[in-house]
Amino acid sequence: MRRRGIETEAELLHARFAVKLAGETNPRPVSIQPPNIAEYGRGEESAFIEQWLRVRGFVLVGLVADDENPQSFMAVA
């Protein structure tokens, strides 16, 4: 497993993840794109994926940058 960080000066343009949930055989695709687009499946697993994104800092609630709206990522199915 690679343990590399992202440069602090880097600008995130798009990210894709394969998230494997406990008890599932296939990973779920997750895609994020600033400022507020997140794409992942619907259904029961979407709540777990949203929590996964929040824990890792991809969904920021209550924190607003100077040029952003005060809202969290929006899921797109």
Please tell me the predicted confidence (pLDDT) of residue 65.
Answer: 52
Q: Is residue 36 part of a domain?
A: yes
What range defines the domain where residue 49 resides? Answer: 15-76
Q: In the chain, how many domains are there?
A: 1
CA angle (45, 51, 55) in 5-degree steps: 145
pLDDT tens digits, residue range 39-77? 887 777 888 888 888 888 877 776 555 455 544 445 444
Q: Is residue 39 part of a domain?
A: yes
Q: Residue 60 corresponds to which tokens in the numbers above?
A: 């920021």
Q: Is residue 58 part of a domain?
A: yes
Q: Is residue 7 part of a domain?
A: no
Q: Is residue 9 part of a domain?
A: no
Q: Is residue 45 part of a domain?
A: yes
Q: Is residue 57 part of a domain?
A: yes
Question: pTM for the full model?
Answer: 0.58
Please tell me the predicted confidence (pLDDT) of residue 67.
Answer: 52
